Structures are given as structure tokens and as C-alpha cells.
Amino acid sequence: MKQLAILFCSLMISCSQLLENGKGPFSVFPALDLLPNSQAPVVLSAAPLNEQNAVSPYSEISILFSKDMNKTVTEGSFTLRNGSISVDGLFSWIDKMMVFKPKAILSQAGQYRYTLLGSKAESSEGVNLIRDYSSNFYVNEDSQQPELVSTIPSNGAVGIQTNTTIQLTFSKAMKLSSILTNISSSPQISFDFPAATLSGDGTTVTLILLTPLAFGTNYTLTIPASIQDSSGNTLIKSYQLNFTVGNDFVKPNFTEISSTTVTNFVATEYITVAGFEKDDSFFIQFDEPILPSSINDAISFTPSVTYTIQDVSANSTRFRITPSSVLDIDTVYQMKVSDQIRDIQNNTLTKAYVYNIKINGPRSRPLWVRGIYLDQPNTIQLNTSIISSINSDGGVGPNYNLETGTNGFYIYFCRGETLATCDITSSPRDLSLQLSSIDFDVRYDFGPNIGSPYLNLPVDVSPLPTDRFLMRTRLFSFAPNPSTYIFTVKGGKQGVIDQYGNYMKQDFNFRFRLNP
């Protein structure tokens, strides 16, 4: 029996750590004098007192327990906080009293709270506190939390100016630095924080804008509960200030799009509009002032065109778009006007616009070889759709020529949308070619190759009327029929060009034979 009693006591001591809040595996039994140390410890007193004001910033925290405590574990269960900030310090013990000395003075005014976790703090026998122990105290006499009492602009205000100042008035004197570091806004407002001021009584802060606000924009300024008054007390709650800049919410309208040569075609979307010159500028107009910066990337061309934009009105309602280089003739460009164009109140255009413009104005049409003639009056025309047979006028085989008198090739140029209409629709009738661009070529094609054909430089023979242009070139050293030759007028952008930069779309070729 003696050995059984010893074993029973040993088990009771080893299970002391399981006794939490005075309860353990034997709590179902009546109280036994056999377990005098199983009683939970309690806090007999603590300083500073709960809700005590005017506590010295040099104060220490002391807690007196009813029993000897496990010092290491109990110290680990203790925290001292000022709001969300934990205060570090050192522990010491005087018998059953734990003393916590902060490493620095409690310089932050406002509420402090110290806590012992009941689940961790325990007596030297391993019995926990019955519950958590917490206490609040205040380093100064002011523990009242401030409130936001008024704002300029008022919450929900509409029609606010872009350069407004913002005023926040509180019920108590506030810390300016706490306000400036904690407020936030959406969309982002750029404040000039160094210029912010606090009223003489410390209750009103005035915030100055660094950049203007955007018209037509709803702003939200958040004043969080973390902002502190001059005593370190935080706001009683968070606040939001909502306001709208400007009071014009009507979208701008697109009233005109025209060019240097084509009048307003704003109502003609998607349908191809013709008659534009390749060096045209374009004009767009709106029914109210527009933010010039919103147009910079809002106009696009397909095929791609680079351009410059110029405000040509006194109130930013009309703009000129000038391509950086001439457009391609006989080409349809798609011009898009984005709906992201904005008025000065930040309202966007009612819709996006799409126009198809064709570059085929009177001075923006291709060149053509209307015909090849053997005389200047244009009476003897060669049929260039077959191999033409031409009588020579000089030379002895195999070096026959086409050059004496009025002979030679007379090349008749004209400008127009088509070959069939180029000499009857040209307007203005002012065709003039760049002589240096004219490139004729003659070469052997097939048959006996016994000649050495060549031609001389082309000559302007002053055609009439002026929508036509006639060039003459003489040909030498041809072998007789059936030797066949190709005559070529060079086209494309590297070929014949008129004074407006128009060119033939492709080379012009025809075959001929020379009879002795």
C-alpha cells in the first residue's frame, strides 16, 4: 500500500501541466487535501490601474500573483501595446511580483494595454491562470478619440473646381504628420504636402494640390482611423470624402471632318469618299472645346500615316491634321477618330468614327501612255497591242533608222483615273513632266540579232492642249524584219513623274519590227 501511494503521488505531480484554469483529469473528483498545489494562481493587484489616466511616461508595469510563478513562461505571456505597436522592455521579479520596465519612456501619448495570456502564464507547479488578464491605462489625461466634423468640399459635392483646396476639420487638435502620412485617394490626387497647413487651434488641415484635378472625375479621399490627435488618440472611425470635379457631363460631338479639297463629309461613314489630293491636310471640328492632348493618339490611318496636329481655333474646337509625307495616289485610306477624345470636363466623344478616303483628286491621278505616234500632229498612231511593222527612213541594213524628218516615236502622256478617260477628264489641264524622270529603252527581243539598236535622249515637243504631254525620241541601227524589238517607258515611282509627283503604275511596253 505504501508503494501504491507513492506511485499515485508521482502521477499527480507529473500531470500538473494538464491542469488548466484549475481543472485537469481529476476535476471530476471532490477537492482533495492530497493536492494542495493544484489551485490556479490569480492576479492580486497590478499597476498602473485599469483605465488610469495621467500615467507617467517613465512608469513600470508591476503585477502581483497569489502564487510563485514560472518566471520564464509567464514573462513570455506578457505584452504591452500602444495601439498596434508592441513595446519592448526588461523583466525583474520581487518574490511573487513581476515587474516590466519599458526600454524607452512611453513617449507616445494615448491608450496603452498590457495583457497576460491565461493559457500561457502558469504557477511554478504548472497551473495556468484561469483566464487572460488585461488592463488599459493612459499616459496623459486625454483619452477621448477625435472625430471628423466637416470638410471642404462637402461629401457628395458636384461641380468642384480643378484647383480646389481640401480642408478637413476635426473635433480636436490633430497631428499634421499623422494626417499627411495616412490619407489616401482614388484616383490618385497629387498633394503638395510641404505646403499643407494646420489652423492655429490645430483642428483644421488645409491640403494644397500639386497638379490640377481632372474634369468629370469622381474622387474619393479616405481618412483612416489610424490618424492621431495631438495626444496620440486615433480617430473614432474611418471616413470617406467623395466629390466630383466639374458639372458638365455632356459628351462632345464631332461636327466636321473635311480636307483642303473636300468639304465636310462627317455624315459619310464607311462609304468611300473620293476626290482627295495626296498632299491634303484634314480638319476636324467639335461642338465644344477639346483637350488637345487627348487628340495626339486618337487619329489613325490604315495604311499607316504619320502626321502632325495643330490647334487652328481660339478655343480648341478645330484642329488641322497634316500628313508628314504625301499619300499614295489611287489608294483608299481608312481614317479612324477614337472615342477617347475628351472635352475639358473629361467627357469622351459620343462614339468612334471611321471614314474611307480615296486619293484620286484632279492632281492625284496616275500617268498613262495614251499612245505611240509616228508624227507630231498625232495622226499616225501605232497599234501597240500587236507587233507593229514600221518602215525605216534611213540607213542601210543591218542598220536601219527611224529618225529623219518628222519620224521617230512620239510618246503621248496624259493624267487621269483610267487610260480611257485621262485626256478628257483631267482638270486642271496642267500636265507637266519632270524631264529628268523620263526613261525610254529599246532592246532586241527575238529573231535574227544582227543590229545594235539604240535611241537618243527624249525631247519635249510642246504638246497641246496642256493636259497632254508629247515626247519625241529617235531610233537607230535596227535589223530588218523579222527581227523584233521592245520599246519601254519606265513606270513606277522610279519612272516618269509629273510636277505633282504622280507616276505611271507600271512600265509601258510594246513590240515592233522595222522594214527596210
- The residues, ordered by sequence, that sit 6+ positions from 466 with a Cβ below 8 Å of its Cβ are 429, 430, 431
The 3-state secondary structure of 408-464 reads: CEEEEEEECCCCCCCCCCCCCCCCCECHHHCCEEEEEEECCCCCCCEECCCEECCCC
**Helix or strand or coil: residue 261?**
coil
Q: What is d(CA 166, CA 304) in angstroms, rounded to the nearest whole number?
A: 46
Residues 441 and 472 in one domain: yes
Residues 139 and 25 in one domain: yes
- Torsions phi, psi for 458 (to 5 deg): -70, 150
Sign of torsion over alpha carbons 200, 202, 205, 210: positive
- CATH code for the domain in which residue 15 is found: 2.60.40.3710
Residues 75 and 199 in one domain: no
Grid cell locating 294: 487627348
Residues 169 and 95 in one domain: no
Residues 187 and 52 in one domain: no
The number of beta carbons lying within 10 Å of the beta carbon of residue 237 is 11
Q: Does the model's pTM come out above 0.85?
A: no
Residues 230 and 278 in one domain: no
Residues 338 and 405 in one domain: no
The domain in which residue 196 lies consists of: 148-245
Residues 425 and 384 in one domain: yes
- The DSSP element (H or E) to which 305 belongs, if any, is none
Pick the last residue of a domain from 359, 390, 422.
359
Pick the last residue of a domain from 359, 392, 409.
359
**Helix or strand or coil: residue 10?**
helix
Q: What is d(CA 510, CA 487) in angstroms, rounded to the nearest whole number?
A: 6
- Torsions phi, psi for 185 (to 5 deg): -145, 155
Q: Taking the CA of residue 347 as centre, how many other CA atoms within 13 Å lie in the half-sphere pointing to its CB? A: 18
Q: Where are the alpha helices (DSSP H) in 169-316?
A: 176-182
- Torsions phi, psi for 7 (to 5 deg): -60, -40
Residues 290 and 191 in one domain: no
pLDDT of residue 464: 58
Placement of cell 535622249 in the chain: 457
Grid cell locating 38: 493544484
Residues 279 and 307 in one domain: yes
Per-residue pLDDT of the chain (516 residues; tens, 9 = 90+): 444 444 444 434 343 333 334 444 444 444 444 444 689 999 999 999 998 877 878 889 999 999 999 999 999 999 999 988 999 999 999 999 999 999 998 877 778 999 999 999 999 999 999 999 999 998 876 768 899 999 999 999 998 998 999 999 999 999 999 999 999 999 999 999 999 999 999 999 999 999 999 888 899 999 999 998 887 788 999 999 999 998 878 899 999 999 999 999 999 999 999 999 999 999 999 999 999 999 988 999 999 999 999 999 999 999 999 999 999 998 999 999 999 999 888 889 999 999 999 999 988 999 999 999 998 888 899 999 999 999 998 888 788 999 876 789 999 998 888 898 887 766 667 788 888 999 999 999 987 776 688 998 888 886 656 667 889 999 999 998 889 999 999 999 999 999 888 999 999 999 999 998
Residues 103 and 188 in one domain: no
Pairing of strands 239-245, 157-160: parallel
pLDDT of residue 148: 97
pLDDT of residue 34: 44
Grid cell locating 219: 474622387
Count: domains in the chain: 4
pLDDT of residue 426: 61
- CATH code for the domain in which residue 229 is found: 2.60.40.1220
Residues 496 and 378 in one domain: yes
Pick the last residue of a domain from 143, 173, 191.
143
